[in-house]
Structure 1
Amino acid sequence: MAAPRRRSGLVLVLALLALLAGGVAYWAWDRWQGFQQDPLPGLQAGDGYVVAQGDSFLRVLGKLREAGVHTGTDLEWQVLARQLGAAGRLHVGEYALAPGMSARDVLTNMRDGRVVRHRFTLVEGWNIRELRAALAREPLLQHDSAELDDAALMATLEQPGVHPEGRFLPETYLFTRGDSDLDILRRASSALERALDEAWSTRADDLPLQTREDALVLASIVEKETGIPEERPAIAGVFVRRLQLGMRLQTDPTVIYGMGEAFDGNIRRRDLQTDTPYNTYTRDGLPPTPIAMVGADALRAATRPADGDALFFVAVGDGSGRHVFSRTYAEHNVAVREYVRRYRERFGPR
């Protein structure tokens, strides 16, 4: 009669062990699922880390720990990496950590190379000195152009003998940490060539411009003369008519460019009378090179200027940046006097 009791006890023990094993398995499964999918605790906006060339998976995991990721064992991270196909396929670059990310998100980002992309903006109207200074101030770029003068820079960009002014299209360019400043310049140079080709191929008939380079030079003057997009075709129209009539352009931005670093913020009568290759008060035609970087709108304005009969323009003087356009010199003098009056009302006598 004792044997059935022993068998019942064994069954009970086995049942308890099965329940325990099932509980452990459920706990392990639940832990595993939570490790993969639950938001990693403690992450703050702006956290991140860098996967460098040659980093092992354990080295990257150490960087994650340093960045505040303490969830999961090394083994769990390795198993998940193999499951996701990320082991041995981590892309070099900078990665962001953000609240709400899971371990699966972190590994998937590294597997797929979803690196942080930064922005560098080339501003319309910048000259080459301003562009190079801005690149030098960007700490996330590698500064491979720092030791190159302008001529060596253009040779490196496969444009030997080309003046660097105006050869880069103002846009916002994305880059990753450690990219070279030369990469941004190459992309901006290629973008400028495409925009210039497009503008020149759709140019108006009978322009007094012989080459696409002439169009680039004129566009740079238009770019510096107004920050009002809708005024650019009208400004270009004034300069085109002057070129057609053989009048000098007489535009202050070219004089200022020719003064270089001697320009102190003011342009005086003697500056207008001092001859340089860029002084359009003393020389006929277009200056020898662009004077600034130009946007696509300025290129379109230079190649498709607005019709009209205005030959002069002057700022309104009310702070809007807009201009008054005049057909005759007498009308222009009236507009200039009005500009001076408004200027003195705003700022007092010069």
Structure 2
Amino acid sequence: MRRAGIVILIVLALGLALLAYNFVGGWTRSGPLDHEISFVVPDGASVGSIATKLEQEGAIGSASAFRTRARFLGGSAVIKAGEYTLPKGASAAQILSILQGGKTINYLLTVPEGMPSILVQERLMANKDLTGDVAVPEEGSVMPDSYAYQKGETRQAVLDRMQAAMKSFLAEQWEQRNGNAVVKTPAEAITLASIVEKETSIPGERPLVAGVYGNRLRTGMMLQADPTIIYPITKGKPLGRRIRKSEIAQVNDYNTYSMTGLPKGPIANPGRTSIEAVLRPVPTKALYFVADGKGGHIFADTLEQHNENVRKWFEIRRQRGEM
């Protein structure tokens, strides 16, 4: 009898060991996925609903087994909402670890330097991965950059990050402005930077263009920046034609051909280099600049020099058949 009892205990122990082995093994052995998939965890989803979704998408063999094993073997970390990549053959343990780790798939939405806010809003609304509506942001409030987002995220959340980036960068750069800066407030800095942004696409020219405009503001000259004529007409969108004489003469709060000083606000969302240029312009005596025909500009200290540079530019345009 005693020997029989020992045998029974051994059998029970072996049975329990086998159950434990299968229980743990089912958690760690390779799963049924035969290829990598994208898996989305909705906001507020429970382990049960996620397990069901995993089974439906063929990532695990049994939702109930996943729930049970997750309860005992999965730890206490929460599953985070987002889109994840589940690799081929991922075990249940690996899948739960991925969903708890929060390393989601990120997509990028890019705002180029100098993009006006009306186009930022249109780009956000055109993105089908995002949800909700968003209004046209305040001009100059968005930092041009590439922003990571997740499918299903709200457009407003993405815009909030764009605006927070601009606010943070401007505050940091304002404290580093030098004595050559003519702007008196951060708001003025963004306004002037938006003009600099539109006047030249060459980053290395921007501190000099900012210096020219600083000299004009100090002496009471008109800025005479063509992009400020266009902004009231299109809100920053491309005009698609030459500026008309009547538009050059138009009196409004933006046209710097009919007013001295800065326009009432930005005409675009300037990038980092344009903001830095306005806050730390290079010392210069130049008051004028005109295109050089090679993508850049020629700068001049006097009107006589400038008129000669303009003559050369017109000759280049005539040779190109543009005039």
What's the TM-score bracket when you normalise by the shorter of the two chains? 0.7 to 0.9
The match for 1:328 is: 302
Report the TM-score when normalising by structure 1.
Answer: 0.77
Out of 122, 142, 147, the position equivalent to 2:131 is: 142
The match for 1:133 is: 122
Gaps spanning 5+ residues in structure 1: where?
A: 1-9, 154-163
Structure 1 distance, partners of 2:45, 2:23, is 28
Structure 2 distance, partners of 1:295, 1:173, is 14
Distance change (3 Å), C-alpha of 1:43 and 1:322: same
Shift of 1:303: 1.1
The match for 1:178 is: 152
Superposition CA RMSD, Å: 3.1
Shift of 1:334: 2.8
The match for 1:216 is: 190
Show the 5 A alignment for 1:31-70: 33=25, 36-38=28-30, 40-44=32-36, 47-53=37-43, 55-69=45-59
AA of the residue aligned to 2:144: P
Q: Give the percent of matched residue pairs that are identical in Structure 1 and Structure 2.
A: 34
Show the 5 A alignment for 1:182-197: 182-197=156-171
Shift of 1:272: 1.4
Contact kept? 1:118, 1:175, Cα under 8 Å: yes
Structure 1 distance, partners of 2:132, 2:282, is 42
AA of the residue aligned to 2:100: R
Structure 2 distance, partners of 1:41, 1:207, is 61
- My pick for the range that moved more, 50-59 or 281-290, is 50-59
Structure 2 distance, partners of 1:299, 1:278, is 19
Shift of 1:289: 0.3
Distance change (3 Å), C-alpha of 1:88 and 1:201: closer
Distance change (3 Å), C-alpha of 1:301 and 1:36: same
Out of 291, 312, 315, the position equivalent to 1:338 is: 312
SS at structure 2 position matched to 1:199: helix
The match for 1:156 is: none
Contact kept? 1:223, 1:298, Cα under 8 Å: yes
Shift of 1:277: 1.6
Q: Is 1:273 aligned to residue 257 of structure 2?
A: no
Contact kept? 2:74, 2:93, Cα under 8 Å: no
Q: Is 1:103 aligned to residue 92 of structure 2?
A: yes
Distance change (3 Å), C-alpha of 1:68 and 1:296: same
AA of the residue aligned to 2:111: L
Out of 271, 278, 281, the position equivalent to 1:295 is: 271
Shift of 1:206: 5.5
Gaps spanning 5+ residues in structure 2: where?
A: none
